[in-house]
Chains A and B, each alone.
Chain A
Amino acid sequence: MSDVAVREGVERASRLGGAADVGGALRRFTERALDEDLVDVAYAATDSPLGELLLAVTAQGVVRVAYIDENMGRDEVLEDLARRVSPRVLEAPNRLDEARRQLEDYFSGRRPAFDLSVDLSLVTPFTDRVLTRTAAIPPGQVLTYGEVAAEIGHQRAARAVGNALGSNPIPIVVPCHRVVRSGGGLGGYTGGTHRKEHLLGLERGDAARR
């Protein structure tokens, strides 16, 4: 009898009943891993008017919001989290339910601001200060890079503030889009200026008037 038949037999013996069973087993595993606090970073992808977003949380709070597009792939974001936070990274959509719900409400205009704890352990102390100040800008308002710099006690550090905002790991939730150029220009944005424009428009109520 040929080895092909042996191989087929082995393959058949190891089949549980299709791919669905692996999926179910994995979902139950993820629940147990969460219960036992073995997941350091839980993530999920979600759709938004600005395209696909990848959301990640730690025990401290939201650690990453990433725009997934041709410039930034999902794998790249996850590998970065594995390297910089912990390799115990698992897809666990249930853990992201609250964040996803708030984002949905925000994009539909039902919620102006977020009530989510954030984990800024990925950023430098300077960026932490910039982002913490930025997080306090109310929806619908903007500050200039220079104003943020001045408020954290670094008068001349407008450029450094711009760089810090550019490295914001939690855009949208930490509203770095509310910091603009002093001459009336939009300034840069981690997801591209079209997204910054969209977010500022949303917060001005453009969507409601549309």
Chain B
Amino acid sequence: MALPPFQTFLDRHAAELLRFLVATIGREEAEDCFQETCLAALRAYPALAPDSNVRAWAFTIARSKAIDAQRARARRPVPVPESPDRPTFDALDDSGAWGPLAALPPKQRAAVFLRVAAELSHHEVARVLDCSEEAARRSAHEGLKRLREELA
């Protein structure tokens, strides 16, 4: 058993990694984050055990790059919004984006995407979010509950 070519990894996972980043940090920053994720993955790839859970590994890298981007954003001076009630999270005002998901706390947003769109197990979500399985379960549950309320 050997690692597949990195291109195969991209063919399989690039689209969902980009979508995960769009859903978690918004489309404006998603592409930069995607580049960083893929570069980090490519750097680390040869050392990956061929039988590892490549998908969870990839989401874990994306998650950590998303957190880096969030921290960088938090450090940047906040521009005075043109309209004060305009939400700061860019996915909110982008056409095609979905407000209620963007309104969730980051961890719940990531947990919901990973459970609902990527269909990872709670165990895998816990790994990606670097928390206990119980906490992962709770994040997804809370997030979904709020979304259902939002939609009701």
A98 at the interface (CB under 8 A from B): no
**Are the C-beta atoms of B45 and A33 separated by less than 8 Å?**
no
A16 at the interface (CB under 8 A from B): yes
**Are the C-beta atoms of B39 and A36 separated by less than 8 Å?**
yes
Contact with B along A22-39 (1 / 0, CB 8 A): 100110110011001011
Residue ID in chain A nearest B98 by CB atoms: A13
How many A-B residue pairs have C-beta atoms within 8 angstroms? Tell me: 123
CB distance from B51 to the nearest CB of A (A): 14
Interface residues of A (CB under 8 A from B): 1, 3, 5-7, 9-17, 19, 21-22, 25-26, 28-29, 32-33, 36, 38-39, 41, 43, 75, 78-79, 81-83, 86-91
B4 at the interface (CB under 8 A from A): yes
CA distance A11 to B30 in the complex (A): 15
B39's partner among A33, A78, A87 (CB-CB below 8 A) is: A33
**Are the C-beta atoms of B22 and A13 separated by less than 8 Å?**
yes
**Are the C-beta atoms of A12 and B14 separated by less than 8 Å?**
no
CB distance from A6 to the nearest CB of B (A): 5
List A contacts of B10 (CB < 8 A): 26, 90
**Are the C-beta atoms of B14 and A25 separated by less than 8 Å?**
yes
With most chain B CB atoms within 10 A of its CB, the pick from A15, A19, A43, A81 is A15
Given contacts A16-B27, A38-B42, contact A1 B19 (CB under 8 A): no
CB distance from B33 to the nearest CB of A (A): 10
**Are the C-beta atoms of A78 and B8 separated by less than 8 Å?**
yes
**Are the C-beta atoms of B148 and A1 separated by less than 8 Å?**
yes
Interface stretch among B63-71, B79-87, B111-119, B123-131? B111-119
**Are the C-beta atoms of A9 and B6 separated by less than 8 Å?**
no
A25's partner among B20, B31, B42, B144 (CB-CB below 8 A) is: B31
**Are the C-beta atoms of B117 and A82 separated by less than 8 Å?**
no
**Are the C-beta atoms of B151 and A1 separated by less than 8 Å?**
yes
CB-CB contacts below 8 Å: B32-82 with A:
34-35, 38-39, 42-43, 45-46
CA distance A96 to B10 in the complex (A): 20
Given contacts A10-B23, A22-B15, contact A89 B7 (CB under 8 A): yes
B147 at the interface (CB under 8 A from A): yes
CA distance A52 to B35 in the complex (A): 31
Contact with A along B12-32 (1 / 0, CB 8 A): 001100111011000100110
CB distance from A97 to the nearest CB of B (A): 18
